[in-house]
Amino acid sequence: MIRDTTYIRIIENYIDAYNNPYIGKMISDMHHGIKFENVSNGEIDLTTRPDNKWYYRVQESSREGKNIV
């Protein structure tokens, strides 16, 4: 079972990368079952899931030391 501190670390890591922005770091903790949603004015306006080609392209670029924004 994952501890609450692990969830907090994952969320803080994502927020830090989002604010910088550094997409490779944003997806570094993602698993296929995880989903991040941005809520603005009470509506979800962006959903990030690691289940598409974009994720794999960013993941590969991250391994190569590139930052795709």
**Do 60 and 50 touch, CB atoms closer than 8 A?**
no
The answer, as to whether pTM is greater than 0.75, is no
**Would you place residue 1 in the very low, low, confident or very high pLDDT band (cuts 50, 70, 90)?**
low
Task: Dump pLDDT digits (tens) for 21-57.
Answer: 787 787 777 777 777 788 999 999 888 776 666 666 6
Higher pLDDT, 55 or 67: 55
Q: What is the pLDDT of residue 54?
A: 66
Q: Is 37 helix (H, G, I), strand (E, B) or coil?
A: strand
